[in-house]
Amino acid sequence: MCVSYAIVEELAGFGARIHICDISETLLSQSLSEWEKKGFQVSGSICDVTSRPDREKLMQTVSSLFDGKLNILVNNVGGIRTKPTVEYVADDFSFHISTNLESAYHLNS
């Protein structure tokens, strides 16, 4: 079980209404189906957090779902491409910056 799944399970178990995002429509649908069977109030969106337009759309969706009031934001995204430093190319650098830094900054501001 991944960390984000466990966070949703814990918060939903306390009765929280939750909205999650995932880059994978398949994984998102599977998780939402499992949580629905458990009676949890979880909705979801497809979102690539490396994409500024996707992040903006996500925040608009969340704002409308929760009437502009967000009590908790769990920004549990991150990624790494492991290889020797001398093999890194510009795309690897962009991936790390957009996934691990830009997304956290823009989703929290």
Burial of 21 by CB count in 10 Å (0-12 exposed, 13-18 middle, 19+ buried)? Answer: buried
Assign 70 a pLDDT band (cuts: 50, 70, 90).
confident
pTM of the model: 0.83
CATH code at 3-108? 3.40.50.720
* Total number of residues shown for the chain: 109
45 neighbors 19 (Cβ within 8 angstroms) = yes
The span from the CA of 30 to the CA of 24, in Å, is: 10
What pLDDT sits at residue 3? 67
Q: pLDDT for 22-57, tens place per residue? A: 999 999 999 999 999 999 999 999 999 989 999 999
Domain positions in the chain: 3-108
Q: Please, what is the average pLDDT of the chain?
A: 91
